[in-house]
Amino acid sequence: MSNVQTTTLALQSVGKTYGLEVPLQNLMLHHAPRAAALPDPQSSIVRALAAPLGSAPLIEAARGAKNATVIVDDWGRSNATRREVAPTVLDHLNQAGIPDEQITVVIARGLGLAPSMAFVEQTFGPELMARPIRRQISAMQRSGQRFLGFSTLG
């Protein structure tokens, strides 16, 4: 038996947590968030959209627009963005007068492996998948790309 001291790191990926045992002598740096979980994430999201720093509230900023594009992170990160933040952002865009049919959701997956549609549905959850939004997933195939317009921000 070895006397090597180890620590177990919790790695989160695709909605699961995996334990990775690492010898302490090999661990150079380990960063873990120290912030406590929000007691009511949904209220915090709504407050942030209503009073963002340095910008008008989303509903006000989007009012008068004909369409919108929302970029969400890929399935390698927490589901919170897709399951909590994205539906609330879509609701605010709807309140600004932009219907779901005129909203494109781009999955910022880079050039990683393309998931199956079943995996995308599982990752995004039934609430987001049930909405008639346009989804853009592939950065590799021309058929999965669309010109979305120019940003006024450059």
Query: Given the structure tokens 């450059």, which residue do they identify?
Result: 154
Q: What is the count of structural domains for the chain?
A: 1
Average the pLDDT over 111-116 and give the result: 67
Residue 94 belongs to domain spanning: 41-144
pTM: 0.67
Residue 30: inside a domain, yes or no?
Answer: no
| Residue 47 near residue 109, CB atoms below 8 Å | no
- Output the pLDDT for position 14: 65
Residue-wise pLDDT for 35-86, tens only, equals 777 888 889 999 999 999 999 999 999 999 999 998 887 666 666 777 788 8
Q: What is the mean pLDDT of the chain?
A: 82
d(CA 79, CA 15): 6
In this model, does residue 134 exceed pLDDT 60? yes
Identify any residues that bridge with 108 across adjacent strands, giving them in sequence order: 73
Residue 99 pLDDT class (50, 70, 90 cuts): very high
Question: What CATH number is attached to the domain comprising 107?
Answer: 3.40.50.11440
Which pLDDT does position 49 carry in this prediction?
Answer: 95
Report how far residue 45's alpha carbon sits from residue 88's, in angstroms, rounded to the nearest whole number. 8
